[in-house]
Amino acid sequence: MSLQGKHIVLGISGSIAAYKSAMLTRLLIRKGAEVQIVITPAGKQFITPVTLSALSGKPVISEFFASGDGSWHSHVELGLWADMMVVAPATASTLGKMAHGIADNMLITTYLSMKAPVFVAPAMDLDMFRHVTTQRNLEILQRDGVQIIDPTEGELASHLEGKGRMEEPEKIVAILEECFATKKELAGKKILITAGPTYERIDPVRFIGNFSSGKMGFALAEECAQRGAEVLLITGPTAMSLSHSAIRRIDVESADEMHDAALKAFPEMDAAILSAAVADYRPVQRAERKIKRKEGEGLTLTLTPNPDIAAALGSIKREEQLLVGFALETDNEESNALGKMEKKQLDHIVVNSLRDEGAGFGHDTNKITILSRSGGKRAFELQTKKATAKDIIDTLFAST
């Protein structure tokens, strides 16, 4: 594995762990990477730009303006130049600013212009790391596609023991290398992914929906894009966002809209992974005006079936196309899933059971079993949806 010729933006914010950034720079340069350092004003209190520019062989960027003559550093150009950005150390303040777009220094403007994958290696005191605010910001960043390099446990600058030590430079380099190494194996492949819930309108203000968050489908889209695939993500209403530029996103609301978009795109695709929780029924009538409450009277909605997108794609699927579905079950998981695989002509089906704690809708984790038409069965432990996405893609494309 090599970082030969890779362009890496290294963001440094104000933490004691900034001394480790010198070693990180050195290791990256040794691996053949070009490193452009962007440091926050607080970062300079911990390590000098002179040290860092000597190690990286490039002037360190910190201010918006290069000199007193009005010339300025272009974060937009840096965003285009970079193959990757890593913020190490990332303080609580920098994580907060990244999560909320508070662009008051060059590191944050560079992050907001970034087209390449972004990693953060948090470093802070254990209570700051544990704080609900920090955890919320990390969650936002993760949803936005930023990859978190978890801090380790040990002695902290405060002399307290706990989680908050920035990961060691050698380990960070290995993680970045792995990202580049896994990047290209799906190059040239076009993959359709459906994600999220669908909303079926009852009247202008109400709908029938479900609790799907879209997290699993978005993690799959990011994973495929990272491995070089061209991804089309058709998603129902969700708060999720994407970071990867190789993902084209189509937002839809109802099962009908998702069906039309998926059917139109599928002939061009090499594979389709259907993780959306599609509503099985919609109201026969959609009221033009808000349905008014009538005292003492019930309300009966008549529902009609929605199209089965998976089955529709299964019926037009070509031999070389791969079709993968999901099954969220509460009981008889395996036999129900096998039945769905057969009925919808799927090649694989990813099963999760609502009986497993931490699996299914809304969680950041999932516990799955993948059943294959060829008779294969692989069961995985409870893990993050990101790790689950890796296992799913490894299994689906094992032979390519």
Q: What residues are labeled active site?
A: 210
Stretch that binds ligand CTP, among 82-90, 113-121, 326-334, 389-397 (CB under 6 A): 326-334
Candidate residues 274, 322, 323, 389; the one interacting with ligand CTP per rule CB under 6 A: 274
| Binding residues among 16-55 for ligand CTP as defined by CB under 6 A | none
If one asks whether residue 271 binds ligand CTP (CB under 6 A), the answer comes out as: no
Stretch that binds ligand CTP, among 102-110, 200-208, 285-293, 323-331 (CB under 6 A): 323-331
Candidate residues 12, 47, 216, 278; the one interacting with ligand CTP per rule CB under 6 A: 278
If one asks whether residue 266 binds ligand CTP (CB under 6 A), the answer comes out as: no
Q: Which is nearer to ligand CTP, 97 or 259 (CB)?
A: 259
Candidate residues 165, 340, 385, 390; the one interacting with ligand CTP per rule CB under 6 A: 340
| Binding residues among 136-195 for ligand CTP as defined by CB under 6 A | 194
If one asks whether residue 212 binds ligand CTP (CB under 6 A), the answer comes out as: no
Residue 267 CB, shortest distance to ligand CTP, in Å, is 17
Secondary structure (H, E, C), the chain: CCCCCCEEEEEECCCCCHHHHHHHHHHHHHCCCEEEEEECCCHHHCCCHHHHHHHHCCCCECCCECCCCCCECCHHHHHHHCCEEEEEEECHHHHHHHHHCCCCCHHHHHHHCCCCCEEEEECCCHHHHHCHHHHHHHHHHHHCCCEECCCEEEECCCCCEEEEECCCHHHHHHHHHHHHHCCCCCCCCEEEEEECECCEEEECCEEECCCCCCHHHHHHHHHHHHCCCEEEEEECCCCCCCCCCCEEEEECCCHHHHHHHHHHHHHHCCEEEECCECCCEEECCCCCCCCCCCCCCCCCCCEEECCCHHHHHHHHCCCCCEEEEEEEECCCHHHHHHHHHHHCCCCEEEEEECCCCCCCCCCCEECEEEEECCCCEEECCCEEHHHHHHHHHHHHCCCC
Q: Which is nearer to ligand CTP, 17 or 328 (CB)?
A: 328
If one asks whether residue 371 binds ligand CTP (CB under 6 A), the answer comes out as: no
Q: Which is nearer to ligand CTP, 194 or 353 (CB)?
A: 194
Cα gap 21→148, rounded to integer Å: 17
Candidate residues 257, 260, 308, 334; the one interacting with ligand CTP per rule CB under 6 A: 308
Stretch that binds ligand CTP, among 16-24, 214-222, 271-279, 357-365 (CB under 6 A): 271-279
Stretch that binds ligand CTP, among 54-62, 99-107, 200-208, 307-315 (CB under 6 A): 307-315
Candidate residues 233, 309, 341, 392; the one interacting with ligand CTP per rule CB under 6 A: 309
Q: Which is nearer to ligand CTP, 47 or 220 (CB)?
A: 220
Q: Which is nearer to ligand CTP, 92 or 279 (CB)?
A: 279
Q: Which is nearer to ligand CTP, 194 or 226 (CB)?
A: 194
Q: Which is nearer to ligand CTP, 3 or 313 (CB)?
A: 313
Angle between helix 92-100 and 132-143 (nearest 10): 50
Among candidates 107, 103, 133, which has minimal Cα distance to 118?
Answer: 107
Size of the site for ligand CTP (CB under 6 A): 16
Binding site for ligand CTP (CB under 6 A): 194, 255, 274, 276, 278, 280, 306, 308-310, 325-328, 340, 344
